[in-house]
Chain A
Amino acid sequence: MRALVSGFLAWCIGIAFSHAQNRTLLYDFYEIPQSLMVNPGVQTGFEWYAGVPLLSGTWTQGGSSGITVQDIFGNDGLDINEKIRQRAVYGMDPRDEFTGTFQVELLSGGFRGRNHPENFYSFGIYSEGDAITYWLGDLAVLAWDGNADQLGRQFDLSHLKTQGEMLNVFHFGINRQMNDRLTLGARGKIYSGIFDLRSARNDGYFVTVEGENNLLANTLDSDMRLQTSGLESLRRKLEDDGADQTAVVQNHILSRGFFGGDLGLGVDLGFSYQLNERLLLTGSLLDLGFMVHASDVRNFSLEGRATSEGVQIILPDALEDPDQNFWQDLVDEIEALIPFEEDASTYLALRPMKLYASVRYNTGGSGRPAEPCYCDYRTGNSSGNLPYRSAVGGQLFVINRPRGPRAALTAFYQRRIGNALALKATYTVDKFSLTRVGLGMNLQAGPVEFYLLADNLLAYGNLADAHFASLQFGLNILSWGRN
């Protein structure tokens, strides 16, 4: 149990602070080729680009809507058990979440069609991990205080909601400028699942009430399920005596991440629409897809309803069988009513779908013609010709999560400085923070392009007290013209 408790704490803290899914700064930052990954219909002016393998796009993001590391582990002289009781067990809500995502591009590139220069093709492979766990709510109270003197209180088992996955994504996208105003994009994805763990559709309760016969009756009404894939074989290998654990994990990730594990399909869709020479509307829908978990699957379930008033000896019936084993009868009865079962049946999981939308007003325009040019691949042979000098706007982000959609609203200001530098500042409001300020920079020196995007900067003074942090960076070689 110590391992379980430590494991849960590590899971929460690991989720929140090693790795949320909102790439606010990257969205519509179209000087950066990776903006195609959050809107395949973004306006592009590149001729081609090649990401530096493993360095073209690294992104890590974490959020905790309830507590921070500082709240629990701050060196404040307070008793840690009181801090946990007040700030977590009785201070958090089952809707509070610990969430995190990381993404590392293994391979990335793109090129404009030779015969159809209105098309820009992009492709690549990236590795992604995504995890979310909601605060355990009633289950945390049960674990912390127990059920004693809580007559009639139903401990809600649906408060257990968690899921996590790691996968490689192989993708190919087409971005097509339909006309002066409209750009559409689509990206097909093949998912190669490395591991998956989910327990998100639980229901039921545990309650203690006055018994019909005895002083108490304990009732468990459970509809709980944990589904896993890609973890059982890893566990077995790690348990082998003499196993090099690092090598085992590396081999497991490599073998399953390149079509040796689960498979899935998905698609990203996006558009940009120029309402007039200044106003731009964009939107995208990402990861409309699914994974079929069919390999190395191990599922656990606890389904049924049982009420116990303990061992019952009711005369004269109890004396009819002198060999009656009251204890075993009770255990057998409960196990028959709520069996704990394991299986290896295939399951299907939807990817966490994301929606982005933005409205953007371009102003200024270095060297920009008086008349709108809706600069594109035909006119924009240099990043300096992009149709704005500065821009302001708003963005909406929505992601589908186990407890329903989670949204974020962002206001942004973007500024180009010469041909080499573009900056973006954002202010975001979401469930993690009301004071999220982010800054991003894209720097181009000749064909070399580097970007660095950091969100929730105000929290960087003490990351331990941050409810949210995000960092992205990448290095590309690219051309805005035919070179």
Chain B
Amino acid sequence: MSVRPMGLDQSGTVVGNRPARLSTVPAHLWRNSAAVFRRQPIATVIVGVFLLVGALAPLIAPYDPSKIHMRDRLQGPSRTYPLGTDEYGRDLLSRIIHGARIAFQAGVIAVGIAMVGGVLVGLIAGYFGGGVDYVLSRILEGLQAFPVVLLAIAITGIVGPSVRHAMIAIGIATIPDFARLTRGVVLPTKQLAYVEAARVIGCGDARILARAILPNCVPAITVLLSFSIANAILYESALSFLGLGAQPPQPSWGTMLSTAKSYMFDLPSYTIVVGLALSLTIIGMNLFGDAVREVVDPLVKS
């Protein structure tokens, strides 16, 4: 670990009167990315394609996802419609491409909320300990007793179904994961000599947390990130499937599947292609997460 409290010279005396700069910016980002790719080339490609498609959806999609072609409704895959059409004759490929965008947003926003909230709570609980830790930990335990889907169902059911609410609900329900993980890293880290050193040279709590302790949590958080995004996408699609997330005509994969269900007799390919897009994305994310874990986590590596 390259933890080097700058501001101390070789003999350990404080240089200058500025507070020490504690920096552990991951210097091997590129090397790590290459290592992840070597371990899981297919998964990395899937994740890459998903991100690209999500970002460039309007440019890639052959049709407008909401354009209705009533005469061509419920068609199987053909040359004009590579994956077929839905109940309004809308091009399925285009809808799936735009669905990637919704899934991507859902993953990023939900996990963003969970990460910011969870890391903050975890840092505070782990660092200050005592009563603060006790109260925060009990609250987290209580929150964790609610399955994410149920909590999200309750929240979206009450504030009204929409993708935004679904994302926020999933984010809140995922906070305990990040909080407990961060707290787990903070507890041993705050005992380390360099944290002690930072305190000795006069760093305040906020500075120690941000510059000395938080960087130590980054590897663990990185690992949790990709799994959480996969889960958030899964939950968003489940909520939309139940009618509590994205609303028609939004091309969310979950919403599409819940409509496709009714046409399973006439057009099974409808259900199959949408489900495959969703499944492939999540499989890719999970494999990618595995590779990230292997690269980042020194315990697994050895």
Q: Does chain A bind chain B?
A: no
- Interface residues of A, Cβ cutoff 8 Å to B: none
